[in-house]
Amino acid sequence: MSNDYPNSLLDAMQRIQAIQLEAVPDADAVTYWPYTQETFPYFTNRLAQTEHGELSEDVEEREYTVAMRLIVGHWQSGYAGNRIEEIYRYVPAIEDAFAGVAETLVSTSYPDPAIYLHPNGVNITRHTGVVVFTNSGMGFQQVGVEFTLNLPMLRDTY
């Protein structure tokens, strides 16, 4: 476990990004949202809700949710739907990649296990299926799929 909790969360987001790039080698990925680019596919990631709990007097659990969005096209830029079949390949590859590193978040870029993870590890709890995302302020809609990743972390409180 780590007392350096803010850096642990940043580390986890960077590890998630690295795992995404290994699962979908032709993709780009960033650790934030909103984001857009003109080449596809690409991932954006953002924190969603967080739950706090206490495992003991000295250990706190924070259960983060990360929304991992894989974009395969922009609707208003002449997107014709021809990349939807790629999503059918990407979904199992992404699910398998995270299942394979659930307790460690290891990848080629991060070969050492993340020491701050809860022993239950990360898991994808759901995905949206193929969706057209409306983004206020971006001026266009994105086509893709969004995964919900459960990211339980431990923190020393002493």
CATH number of 23's domain: 3.30.2000.10
More confident residue, 17 or 53: 17
State pLDDT tens for residues 49-100. 887 766 556 778 899 999 999 999 887 666 666 778 889 999 999 999 999 9
Rounded Cα–Cα distance for residues 108 and 154 (Å): 24
Report the percentage of the chain scoring pLDDT > 70: 88
Please give the model's pTM, rounded to 2 decimal places. Answer: 0.90
pLDDT of residue 2: 43
| Structure confidence at residue 156 (pLDDT) | 75
Structure confidence at residue 40 (pLDDT):
93
* Six-digit token string for 116: 């701050």
Number of domains in the chain: 1
Helix (H, G, I), strand (E, B), or coil: what is residue 151? strand
Q: Is the peptide bond before 34 cis (omega within 30 degrees of 0)?
A: yes
The Cα 59–Cα 146 span in angstroms is 31
Residues spanned by the domain of 15: 5-156
pLDDT tier at 1 (50, 70, 90 boundaries)?
A: very low
pLDDT value of residue 141: 85
Give percent above pLDDT 90 in the chain. Answer: 67
H/E run at residue 14: helix 5-23
- The reported pLDDT for the residue numbered 80 is 61
Q: What average pLDDT does the segment 7-14 reach?
A: 94
- Asked if the bond preceding 6 is cis, omega within 30° of 0, the reply is no
Mean pLDDT of all residues in 115-127: 95
